Chain A
Amino acid sequence: MSESHHPTGIKRWLYTTNHKDIGTLYLWFSFLMFLVGGVMALVIRAELFQPGLQLVEPNFFNQMTTMHGLIMVFGAVMPAFVGLANWMIPLMIGAPDMALPRLNNLSFWILPFAFFMLLSTLFMPGGAPNFGWTFYAPLSTTYAPPSVTYFIFAIHIMGASSILGSINIIATIMGMRAPGMGYMKMPLFVWTWFITAYLLIAVMPVLAGAVTMMLIDIHFGGSFFSAAGGGDPVLFQHIFWFFGHPEVYIMILPAFGVASAIIPTFARKPLFGYHSMVYATASIAFLSFIVWAHHMFTVGMPLVAEGFFMFSTMIIAVPTGVKIFNWVATMWRGSMTFETPMLFAVAFVILFTIGGFSGLMLAIAPADFQYHDTYFVVAHFHYVLVPGAIFGIMAAVYFWLPKWCGKMYDEMMGKVHFWLSFIGLNVTFFPMHFVGLAGMPRRIPDYALQFADFNMISSAGAFLFGFSQVFFLGIVLQTILYGKKARSEVWDNPHGLEWTLPSPPPYHSFTQPPQVTMAHASPR
C-alpha cells in the first residue's frame, strides 16, 4: 500500500496526523502515567503497611494520594480510552482517519505538557497539591500550597484536550461512517464512545469553570466558596460532582464497549440484546447527570435532596444490570474459549459487578453516613476502576494488539499476567471493604491498631499487582519485537470491519469506503 508515504523518524510522531500513530502515542503515554500513578500508590501502600509513620510525612502522603488519584484518572484511564478510540473507531466504521486529524494531534500533545506541569508541582516550594483529587474548597483555595495555580491551569489544558478529542470523535462518528453503517449498526464500542464523548463535552467545561472559580477565590479576592462573603464551600462540591460523577462513567462506558466486542468473539455467538445495550448505555449517561450529590450525602443537604439523589443513584443499577445480564446471556450456550482477552473481559464483568454492588450500598443515603470517606468507598471505586476500567483496557490491548502490530502475543505469558493481576488486585482491594466497614477513614497516613492486619495484606497485594504490570510491559515489548505474525482475522471468525484489513492495517485504513454488509455491522 502507501508504504512509501509512511513518514519515519521522530517527526513521524511529533507531526503526525494519522489516527493510528496518535492512538499509539496516547496508549504509550497512558501506560507511562499508569506506572507513575502506580508508583505513587505503592508509596501509599508502603506507608500503610504498618501502623505508625515510617516512610513519608503526612503532608507528603497527602500529595501522593492526590497525585495518584489525578494521574490515574486524567493521565492513565482517560488517555488510554482516547487512544483506543483513535485506533479503533476509524477501523470499525470504515473511515480512512479521524475527521479532524490535525486537531487530533493537538489533543494528544497537550497532555504531556499538562502532566509535566502537574508533576513539576512536586518540586515546588510548599509541595504538590495535597487536597485530594476532589480538591474541595477551602482546603484547595485559601489553604492550598502555591502550586495550586499550576494545578488549576493543568486542569484547564487537560480539559481542552479532552474537549477537542471528543469533538473529533463525535465528528468522526457522525460524519465518516462507511455507506451502510447506520447508527444502529455501529459496533458497541463505537456507540459507547459516542456517548462518552458527549459526556466529556458536557462536563469538562464545567470542571474548567470550577477551577476558574477557585482561581478567582485564591488570587482575586472572590468569595464563591467562602461563607464570609456570602458563598458556600458546598457550592464547590456541587459543581465538582456535576463533573465528577459523569466522569466516572466516562471511565467505564468505553470499557463496556470493549467487553461487548470481546465476549461475543470468544463465545462465538452474536451479542445478546444489541438494542437494549445501546439504550442502557444512553440511560446510564443520562442518569449520570442527575445523581451527583450521592457523593455529598453528609454535607447537610435538604432532606428532599437526599431522597432524590438516593433514588436516582439506585436506579442506575437497572441499566447497568441490563448490560451485565446481556453479557451473561451472550455467553450462555456459546462455544467459549478463554484466551487472555476473554479472561480479562470475564473478570471485568464479575469484578465490576462487585464494585457496582458496593456502589449500590453507598447509594443508600443513611448507610452512606457510615460508609462515607472510609476505605469502603476506596474499595468500591478501585473495584470499578481497576478491574473495571484498567481490565477493560488490558482486555482491549490483548484483543487488538495483534491487529495493531501484526504480531501475536504469547498466550501463556498473557494468562500468567492475567492471573497475577487477578489475584493481586483482589488481595489488595477486597480487605479494604472490611477495614472500611470497621471504621478506617480514607486519606490517612496512619491508622489505629485494629486495622493493622488487613492493611498489611492489602499492601502485599498491591506490590504483587504492581509487579504484574511491569510484566505486562514485558509482554507487549516482546510481542512488538519478536511476536509471531498474526493473521488478518487474528481470532476465530471475529465480527467487524477492523478484521477485514490486514494486520497491521495500512497507514490509511480505508482508502475507499468499504461496502458494509451484514457480516460486518452489528447486530448480525
Chain B
Amino acid sequence: MAKQDPEIYYVPEKSRKPILMALAMFLTVFGAATTINHMSGTAIFPIGGYILFAGLVLFVTIMFLWFRTAIMENLAGLNNEQVKQSYVLGMSWFIFSEVMFFFGFFFALAYVRNFAVPWLGGEADLLGTMRQSTHDILWNGLVTQWPLMETPQQAVGGASQQLIANNGEFIGPHASMSFPGWLGLFTWLPLWNTVVLLTSSFTVHIAHLHLKNNDRNKLTVWLGITVLLGITFILLQYIEYHEAYNQYGLTLQSGIYGTTFFMLTGFHGFHVIMGTVILLVMWLRSTIAGHFSPSNHFGFEAASWYWHFVDVVWVCLFIFVYIL
C-alpha cells in the first residue's frame, strides 16, 4: 500500500480470514442441516454433529482473529476517518437488516391474528369479504380468539374427522402468556423482563457517557451492571420458558400461538445472548486491555447500538406478543 496516503485511504492487505470464514459458515450450515435431518430420520449420513461442531469452532476462531486484526489496525492508527465512517455505516445498515429480519416475524404474527385465525374461526373481518364456508364446512366448532387456546384441529376433534393433512397431534396450551390482569401484574415475568431490559439500555448509555468523560472506573461499573442485567434477562426468560413448557403446556408444537410465541421470543432471546456476549467482550477489553479512548471507541458504540436495538425489539414484543 506504499503509494497510498493513509491519511485519506487505507486498503488492507490480502487476508485469508474471509475465505476461512466462508468455509466456517458452510461447515456450520451443512452440519446443522445434516444434524436436523438426522433428528427427523432422513439424514444422508450420521456425522452431521461433528461437522457442525467443527464449523462453529472455526467460526468463533476466525471471528476472534478478525476482530483482533481490526482492533490492532485501529490501535496502530491505520483507521483514518474514512475507515471509521465505513465501520459506522456498516454497523448501522447491519442493524437495519436485523430489523427487517424481525419485521418478517412480526408480519407473520399480525397476519395470523388479523386474517388467518378470524377466517378459520368464521368471523367476518372488517373488510367484509371473508367467506364463511371455510369455517362452516371445515372448522365448525372453532372459536376465534387470541391467544388461540385450541387449534382448529383440536376444535373439530382430531385428524381423522376432517380432510386436512396436518403436521401432527397438537397438545396444549392450557394457559396463555398474556397480560394476566392488574392483579397478577407484579408476578408477571414479562413485566420484569421489560424493566430489566429498559434499565440496561440506560446503564449502557451512562457507561458511554463516562467513557466520553474518560472516567474508566465508572465505565467499568456501569458496563458491568449492563452485562449483569443482560444475564438477568436471560435467566428470567429461561424461567419463563420453563413455565410455558411445563406448567402451561405451551410449546412450539401447540399451534400457531406457540409457534409465533417461541419464534419471536426465541430469536429475540438469541439476540440478547449475542448482545450480552458482545458487551462482556467490551467490558473485558476496557478493563483488562485498557482499550477505548474518549474519542475513539467505535467498538463500544457499535455494541451499545446493538443493545439498544435488542431493547427496542423487546418493547415491540412486549406490546404485540404479551399485551395486545
Contacts and interface: CB of A to CB of B under 8 A. Distances in A.
A–B proximity contact (CB within 8 A): yes
A220 B168 CA distance: 11
A226 B151 CA distance: 11
Nearest to B16: A15
Interface in B1-39: 1-5, 8-9, 11-19, 21-23, 25-26, 29-30, 32-33, 36-37, 39
Contacts of A226: 166-167
Interface string B244-263: 00000001110111011001
A232 to B, nearest CB: 4
Contact of A229 (B8, B13, B16, B255): B255
Contacts of B97: 163, 167, 201-202, 204-205
A205 B66 contact: no
B18 A106 contact: yes
A96 B82 CA distance: 12
Contact of A171 (B19, B25, B93, B101): B93
Contact of B21 (A106, A125, A230, A242): A106
Interface stretch (B124-132, B203-211, B285-293): B124-132
B54 to A, nearest CB: 14
B320 interface: no
Interface residues of A, number: 95
Contacts of A7: 14
A167 B104 contact: no
B114 to A, nearest CB: 11
Interface in A204-229: 204-206, 208-210, 212-213, 215-224, 226-229
B129 A302 contact: yes
Given A157-B26, A170-B93, A231 B13 contact: no
B130 A302 contact: yes
Contacts of A238: 107, 111
B18 A216 contact: no
A105 B33 contact: no
A464 interface: no
Contact of B3 (A2, A97, A146, A227): A2
B129 A303 contact: yes
A102 B66 contact: yes
Interface in A1-30: 1-2, 5, 7, 11-12, 14-18
Contact of A106 (B22, B90, B103): B22
Contacts of B115: 232
B15 to A, nearest CB: 5
Given A171-B86, A231-B116, A232-B115, A113 B22 contact: yes
Interface of B: 1-5, 8-9, 11-19, 21-23, 25-26, 29-30, 32-33, 36-37, 39-40, 42-44, 66, 82, 85-87, 89-90, 93-94, 96-98, 100-105, 107-108, 111-112, 115-117, 119-120, 125, 127, 129-131, 138-139, 148, 151-153, 164-168, 170, 251-253, 255-257, 259-260, 263
Given A201-B100, A228-B151, 14 more contacts: A14-B16, A100-B90, A103-B90, A109-B18, A109-B21, A146-B37, A175-B85, A201-B96, A203-B100, A227-B116, A227-B164, A303-B127, A305-B127, A513-B8
9 contacts: A96-B11, A106-B21, A146-B44, A149-B37, A150-B33, A167-B93, A170-B89, A206-B103, A213-B263
Q: Which 3 A-B pairs have the closest CB atoms?
A: A209-B104, A230-B256, A221-B253
